[in-house]
């Protein structure tokens, strides 16, 4: 099992993988129980869990650049959303003539805008493989171009964070515009099926959940392999003493660029799995707040552990689902308070707390 080799020496990671496998088995069994059975899992819950797992993958991607490389990206949700839009475009093309206007070629919003032909950048998205390629290529390319300029000019720290925040904000404004051809503020929605399977069916939803779990596992293992290699040690060296790393002979900007781009691709894949499960993608996914939430997940879980990011993403989102149901207005205050408290009292997150108790 060479795939599992990166887990050597990663105790938390081993526990995480075991739990993830157990979760997938339990959910698969429980979702297939008859409706009357009290242990039956509704497809709503299955989808909700699937959504958490895509968030967890996004958090792992951020932890790789923040925890290990020291780049506090406040725009990672932008890569997530771009991956989501690429998937959304594929799903839109799958609707075919089943839309409200029944146009076999054009999505509804284009008919509504009186467009007569498909814009060039929508070409090819009816092919699943092409869409999947774009899911990785578009966020990766943006991260590469962005990183190329930012890291070469040695923008670091708070300045870099602010630029990433500006990046996601600019994308939000752009995607809000109808002329962009991505459905304006309504975004892309009303999806029917994926690869020929209806998105409303319980089996498809379970399949998407399992796909999310598998991709999260693979993403985790890939990040873990990076972190455990000498490349990971160079990343931490850059985080702790950037100029020393340069004088030792490492091209710091190339290392940052490679890891940042890889992380953006992971975030894009997470977004692509997210969209069919929630059924919509719109420009609000680019909100600066979303990116900041990701940072909070990672901070709460514990930086530079990877599994801490998973824990934080699932934990905070579970709390969010619960709290927005009970006290809808209180969520943002709770989120802010959480961030302040974690920063003050748990600099190493929940994982740090657990570790410390074990050490004592």
- Closer residue to other proteins in complex, CB, 245/310: 245
Token pair 């979760």 is at which residue?
A: 23
* Binding range to other proteins, per CB under 8 A, among 105-113, 115-123, 200-208, 254-262: 254-262
244 is a site residue for other proteins (CB under 8 A): yes
Residue pair 274/54 in contact by the 8 Å Cβ criterion: yes
101 is a site residue for other proteins (CB under 8 A): no
Give the integer Cα–Cα distance in Å for 138 and 165: 18
Cβ density class 284-306: b for 16+ within 10 Å, e for less? ebbbbebbbbbbbbbbbbbbbbb
29 is a site residue for other proteins (CB under 8 A): no
Task: By CB under 8 A, name the one of 11, 40, 233, 356 that touches other proteins.
Answer: 233
306 is a site residue for other proteins (CB under 8 A): no
How far is C-alpha 298 from the geometric centre of its chain's CA atoms?
12
Task: By CB under 8 A, name the one of 5, 8, 40, 251 that touches other proteins.
Answer: 251
> Which secondary-structure segment (H or E) carries 23?
helix 11-31
144 is a site residue for other proteins (CB under 8 A): no
Give the integer Cα–Cα distance in Å for 75 and 293: 10
Give the strand pairing for 193-194 and 197-198.
antiparallel
# residues near other proteins by CB under 8 A: 23
252-278 helix and 43-63 helix, angle to the nearest 10 degrees: 170
Task: By CB under 8 A, name the one of 226, 272, 275, 342 that touches other proteins.
Answer: 226
* Binding range to other proteins, per CB under 8 A, among 239-247, 278-286, 295-303, 305-313: 239-247
- Closer residue to other proteins in complex, CB, 174/254: 254
249 is a site residue for other proteins (CB under 8 A): yes
230 is a site residue for other proteins (CB under 8 A): yes
Cβ density class 127-158: b for 16+ within 10 Å, e for less? eeebbbebbbbbbbebbbebbeebbeeeebee
Give the strand pairing for 193-194 and 188-189.
unpaired
Task: By CB under 8 A, name the one of 240, 322, 337, 356 that touches other proteins.
Answer: 240
CB of 313 to other proteins, least distance (A): 24
CB of 160 to other proteins, least distance (A): 19
In the window 146-165, what residues touch other proteins (CB under 8 A)? none
Give the integer Cα–Cα distance in Å for 348 and 102: 54
- Closer residue to other proteins in complex, CB, 237/280: 237
255 is a site residue for other proteins (CB under 8 A): yes
8 is a site residue for other proteins (CB under 8 A): no
Give the integer Cα–Cα distance in Å for 324 and 304: 29
Task: By CB under 8 A, name the one of 163, 218, 258, 354 that touches other proteins.
Answer: 258
- Using CB under 8 A, list all residues that contact other proteins: 226, 229-231, 233-234, 236-237, 240-241, 243-252, 254-255, 258
């Amino acid at each position: 099992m060479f795939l599992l080799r990166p887990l050597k020496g990663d105790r938390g990671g081993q526990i995480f993988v075991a739990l993830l496998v157990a979760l997938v088995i339990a959910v698969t069994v429980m979702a297939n129980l008859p409706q009357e059975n009290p242990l039956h899992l509704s497809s709503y819950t299955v989808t909700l869990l699937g959504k958490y797992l895509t968030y967890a993958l996004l958090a792992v991607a951020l932890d790789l650049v923040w925890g290990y490389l020291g780049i506090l990206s406040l725009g990672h949700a932008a890569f997530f959303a771009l991956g989501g839009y690429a998937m959304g475009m594929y799903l839109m093309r799958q609707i075919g003539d089943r839309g409200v206007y029944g146009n076999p070629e054009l999505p509804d919003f284009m008919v509504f805008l009186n467009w007569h032909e498909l814009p060039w950048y929508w070409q090819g998205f009816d092919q699943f493989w092409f869409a999947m390629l774009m899911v990785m290529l578009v966020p990766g390319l943006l991260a590469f171009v962005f990183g190329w300029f930012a890291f070469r000019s040695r923008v670091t720290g708070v300045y870099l964070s602010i630029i990433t925040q500006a990046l996601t904000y600019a994308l939000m404004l752009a995607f809000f515009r109808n002329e962009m051809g991505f459905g304006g503020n309504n975004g892309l929605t009303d999806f029917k099926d994926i690869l020929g399977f209806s998105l409303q069916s319980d089996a498809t939803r379970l399949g998407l959940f399992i796909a999310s779990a598998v991709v999260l596992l693979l993403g985790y293992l890939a990040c873990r392999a990076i972190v455990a290699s000498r490349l990971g040690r160079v990343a931490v060296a850059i985080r702790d003493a950037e100029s020393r790393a340069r004088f030792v002979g490492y091209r710091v900007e190339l290392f940052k660029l490679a890891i940042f781009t890889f992380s953006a691709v992971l975030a894009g894949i997470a977004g692509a799995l997210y969209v069919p499960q929630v059924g919509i993608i719109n420009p609000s996914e680019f909100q600066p707040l979303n990116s900041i939430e990701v940072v909070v997940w990672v901070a709460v879980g514990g930086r530079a552990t990877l599994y801490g990011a998973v824990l934080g993403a699932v934990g905070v989102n579970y709390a969010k689902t619960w709290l927005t149901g009970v006290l809808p207005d209180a969520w943002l205050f709770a989120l802010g308070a959480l961030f302040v408290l974690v920063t003050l009292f748990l600099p190493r997150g929940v994982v740090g707390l657990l570790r410390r108790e074990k050490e004592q």
